[in-house]
Chains A and B, each alone.
Chain A
Amino acid sequence: MSDDHVYLTLAEGHDDDTRWAYGTGFEDPLHGVDTSVPDDLDAGELASVCVTLADDALVSAQRLAEWTTRAPELEEEVALANIGLDLLGQARLLYSRAGQADGTGRDEDAYAYFRDAGDFRNVRLAELPNGDFAFSIVRLLVFSSWRLAHFERLTAHRDPVLAAIAAKGVKELAYHRQYAAEWAVRLGDGTEESHRRMRKAQEQVAPYLGELFTAYDVRDEVVAVLRQVTEAAGLPMPVYRPLPGSGRTGDHTEHLAPLLAELQGVARAHPEATW
């Protein structure tokens, strides 16, 4: 092996079983899936389901990206980025499907960059600022438990594309939930300080739980998961008092607009540009 030409050595070993990181769009998870919308489906409703789930994922991924260079340990940098990349990948697929379903043919970036806060349908839980690691873990636990249960049902959706996206997402979300549950147990059980922080995080998250349980009957399943984890962590189940309004109908906290301003700023400053 010679390094006389510094790039030659890099050409070795790139055979066809090399594999991309998840979520970066380097492979087509919908390969071989018929993308035409089935005739017996309400296309408008399908689009709205896709946009809603994509908004949840995009806003969550944005918050996870904010952890970059701020995580409590380097190994957690890698883990949080993996989860963020998965969710970003889900958002991209779902936006693309929405564009096919609603007949506008809009691409993923049209949805992500050129809609205002009032048009976003994500749950408010996703847009809350990161807070400390305990808050991010409790939020991730709740969010991934709900999303996993929801996606498991979507794998049987009559739209084959949405079903395929859900099937891919289920594997990812199972890992997210496991990661969050393990950390919840460590922090709940760990030290007095970590326990106190977890209690506080639970209280902060509790008001936003109700918003998740609107479609499909996954509430009991999710609550059972949360109960199991909180018991193992030595934490109480939070009492939940739902807030009025819902992100699903466009009600948001004051935190969404600044999040979107950062996300959309460069794209909107150069509307004619290609990236």
Chain B
Amino acid sequence: MDTTHSSPPGADGAGPDLQQHFDATIARDQRIEPRDWMPEGYRKTLIRQIAQHAHSEIIGMQPEGEWITRAPSLRRKAILFAKVQDEAGHGLYLYSAAETLGADRADLTERLIEGRQKYSSIFNYPTLSFADVGVIGWFVDGAAICNQVPLCRSSYGPYARAMVRICKEESFHQRQGYELLMTMMRGTPEQREMVQDAVNRWWWPSLMMFGPPDDASPNSAQSMAWKIKRHSNDELRRRFVDMTVSQAEKLGVTLPDPELRWNEERGHHDFGTPDWDELMRVIKGDGPCNDQRMERRRTAHEEGAWVREAATAHAAKQAARAEKGAVA
């Protein structure tokens, strides 16, 4: 049996000792590692969350990937190319973390392309101008950082370590986005309009990235108890808004929320309510680009099948030849 990547232990009924040991490890804020005993619910929750995160990285390559071939300067082309490549890398780190829990990447990919596992709703919105590349870096990667930096302390070791690596790279992503927007805001009036238009379109979907409000997020409490998640959706959303407001001021753009204002008493910004019905529709598959995103991923996977098979066949032939050579 595979020794590095644990197979799922038989059942939860592994005995009170194991459960106690697990609980104590979590309570001491120590990491659970692949071969430790863990409750089945913990394993399943983690696989679902990590897979969804990995899928988001891979599907998330598409909206920006569209602009690599069209980037208006060679410097921007190189930066965007490197960024989208990083996302493939992040997806791979995360699938690799999921595999330490006994999941299989081919199986997770099947689940994605059959629509049985989700990815972040944000990637179902279209990218309409090059300013979108900047705004995705600023908002979407900014929101991802808010979500992910706490996950560097997630209780599951391989996930936490993958997040450390990813967060460092995301930081480069956010900065390149903001820098692009600053450059565009110093450019022509047309460019400034492009930036404001992109801000208007991406603001609310970005707030929705943190998930439904806490009172409508049934799984959050258990995930927080297990220290898989460290902060609630609303907490992270508020943190993102507080950070972004002053960045928007520096940039000279207006965030499209008339209710947005500083609340001295709370020490945070008040802001409007995202359209949760829209979020639900997009999650259920009715966003502007759901079909297109899934179709692209499915096609790439299916059209790559003969390549993967050929490599497997060649490796088998090589092994057989080597064995024959050894015998002879």
Do A and B bind?
A: yes
CB-nearest residue of chain B to A272:
B188
B307 at the interface (CB under 8 A from A): yes
Instruction: Note all chain A residues with C-beta closer than 8 A to B209.
Output: none
A-B interface contact total, Cβ < 8 Å:
186
Residues 81-121 of A, flagged 1 when their CB comes within 8 A of B and 0 if not, give: 11011001101100100000000000011001100000000
CB-nearest residue of chain A to B243:
A6
Residues 139-171 of A, flagged 1 when their CB comes within 8 A of B and 0 if not, give: 000000000000000000000000000000000
Residues 34-72 of A, flagged 1 when their CB comes within 8 A of B and 0 if not, give: 000000000000000000000000100010011011111
Instruction: Note all chain B residues with C-beta closer than 8 A to A28.
Output: none
- The reply to whether A6 and B180 contact each other, CB–CB distance below 8 Å, is no
**Using a CB-CB cutoff of 8 Å, which residues 236-275 of chain A contact chain B?**
262-263, 265-267, 270, 272-275
A178 at the interface (CB under 8 A from B): no
Q: Which of A75, A92, A262 contacts B78 (CB 8 A)?
A: A92
Instruction: Note all chain A residues with C-beta closer than 8 A to B85.
Output: 21, 68, 77-78, 81-82, 85
- The reply to whether B149 and A6 contact each other, CB–CB distance below 8 Å, is yes
* Complex Cα–Cα for A266 and B243 (A): 31
- The reply to whether A78 and B88 contact each other, CB–CB distance below 8 Å, is yes
- The reply to whether B72 and A71 contact each other, CB–CB distance below 8 Å, is no
- The reply to whether A197 and B190 contact each other, CB–CB distance below 8 Å, is no
Instruction: Note all chain B residues with C-beta closer than 8 A to A275.
Output: 71-73, 75-76, 130, 180, 183-184, 187
Instruction: Note all chain A residues with C-beta closer than 8 A to B81.
Output: 24, 65, 68, 81, 84-85, 88
B296 at the interface (CB under 8 A from A): yes
**Using a CB-CB cutoff of 8 Å, which residues 257-274 of chain B contact chain A?**
none
- The reply to whether A7 and B145 contact each other, CB–CB distance below 8 Å, is yes
B177 at the interface (CB under 8 A from A): no
Q: Which of A185, A265, A270 contacts B191 (CB 8 A)?
A: A270
Where chain A touches its partner, the secondary structure class is helix
Q: Which of B72, B296, B313 contacts A70 (CB 8 A)?
A: B296
- The reply to whether B74 and A92 contact each other, CB–CB distance below 8 Å, is yes
- The reply to whether B190 and A270 contact each other, CB–CB distance below 8 Å, is yes
Query: Given contacts A89-B78, A194-B307, A266-B72, are A70 and B300 in contact (CB under 8 A)?
Result: yes
* Complex Cα–Cα for A100 and B317 (A): 53
Interface residue stretch chosen among B7-15, B60-68, B114-122, B218-226: B60-68
- The reply to whether B311 and A186 contact each other, CB–CB distance below 8 Å, is yes
**Using a CB-CB cutoff of 8 Å, which residues 149-191 of chain B contact chain A?**
149-150, 152-153, 167-168, 171, 180, 183-184, 186-188, 190-191
A1 at the interface (CB under 8 A from B): yes
- The reply to whether A10 and B171 contact each other, CB–CB distance below 8 Å, is yes
Q: Which of B89, B146, B171 contacts A78 (CB 8 A)?
A: B89
A123 at the interface (CB under 8 A from B): no
CB distance from B11 to the nearest CB of A (A): 33
* Complex Cα–Cα for A258 and B31 (A): 53
Query: Most chain-B CB neighbours within 10 Å: which of A6, A85, A185, A262?
Result: A6
Query: Given contacts A69-B61, A78-B85, are A109 and B74 in contact (CB under 8 A)?
Result: yes
Q: Which of A74, A88, A95, A185 contacts B77 (CB 8 A)?
A: A88
B215 at the interface (CB under 8 A from A): no
- The reply to whether B168 and A189 contact each other, CB–CB distance below 8 Å, is no
Instruction: Note all chain A residues with C-beta closer than 8 A to B300.
Output: 69-72
CB-nearest residue of chain B to A189:
B314
Instruction: Note all chain B residues with C-beta closer than 8 A to A15.
Output: none
Beyond A23-B78, A81-B88, A92-B78: 5 further Cβ-contacts under 8 Å? A13-B168, A62-B69, A187-B307, A190-B310, A270-B191
Interchain residue pairs with CB less than 8 A apart (9): A6-B239, A69-B297, A77-B61, A113-B73, A186-B314, A187-B311, A267-B72, A270-B190, A275-B75
